[in-house]
Amino acid sequence: MLNAYGVHQGVLRKLQCSGDNLALIDASWIDLVDPTREEELAVEAMLGLDIPSREEMRSIEASSAAYHANGASVMNARVVGRTATAALQLVDVTFIMKDNVLTTLRYGDPLPFRTFVARAEKTADKIVSGEAVMVGLLEAIVDRAAEIHATVGDELEALSSDIFLNDGSATSSGNRADLRPVLQKIGRNGDLASRVRESLHTISRVVPFLAADGLGHAAGDLPARLATVSRDIVALLDHNGHLASKATFLLDATLGFINIQQNNIINILSVASVIFLPPTLIASLYGMNFKNIPELSWAYGYPYALALMAATAILPYWFFKRRGWL
């Protein structure tokens, strides 16, 4: 799909576009989302350079994530967004800046793109060029990363309460002594935080490239906004490290509680085996088929054996209970 946007009085306006080069002349931002081959060829003809394929985007080394080609600045990044599976994954995005026109190529639908479009179509005197679109997208991506961090932080805080305030014996879902859902939630949030971290690292390589490419000395507030994005990335990466440490700590604590629960189960089974060992021994003794067992012809032999087995079971139980082993 090919979307083209122009700027009118500081507001982003979507252009009617059929994929023809002439329809893209007034565009300040060309957005390719899972493009067809015809759409790729139309944009390549306008830009005068080859657009990287999906496989090429994934195979680009980190050191080559931003480069110049045929008078264009090409920057590759990864953004957390939803894919065809509706799960939050890292979406490969290529930003191409040439002649103050921004072209984006992506194979997913990250929320920051939709958020930026919705805001830019309503807010006047903010969008003046493709460079402003680029900075606005970076701001939206960083804001989305901050939102995900807040969500992950809240989730981990709730899990911390489940684990420690309930002494690891129950969760808020009422699922007593089953910490598997807690492990799944910790793993899911830790994985999401790691995806955000990778995304921020890729964006952190794009920002200085833009600044060195002239945007850092551009007119207006773009240099200041770009500097703010850079500072926000540093702060978010630091916060991400804190979230990763907390997730690891909660994971270790949960595994520790699971180990304690397993030890308690083994302890109970061991005590139970000790309790029932003497009655079993007595039953085995009087179950032997020898003729000269003294109690064999005794009228009270059967209740005597039952009472003896009960006593040998109750006494160990009383002893273990008194020692606090049960």
- Rounded to whole angstroms, how far apart are CA atoms 41 and 19? 9
Q: For the chain, how many residues are written?
A: 326
Per-residue confidence (pLDDT) for residue 17, from 0 to 100: 65
Show the low-confidence residues of the chain (pLDDT under 50).
Answer: 19-22, 168, 170-176
* Cβ atoms of 141 and 112 closer than 8 Å: yes
Radius of gyration of the chain (CA): 34
Quick one: three-class SS letters along 119-133?
A: HHCCCCCCCCCHHHH
Per-residue confidence (pLDDT) for residue 241, from 0 to 100: 93
* Cβ atoms of 77 and 137 closer than 8 Å: no
Residue in the block written with tokens 């089974």: 269
| pTM of the full structure | 0.75
Helices and strands in the chain: count of H runs, count of E runs: 7, 7
Domains and their CATH numbers in the chain: 2-261 (3.30.460.20), 262-322 (1.20.58.340)
- Rounded to whole angstroms, how far apart are CA atoms 202 and 227? 16
The tokens describing 248, both together, are: 């690891």
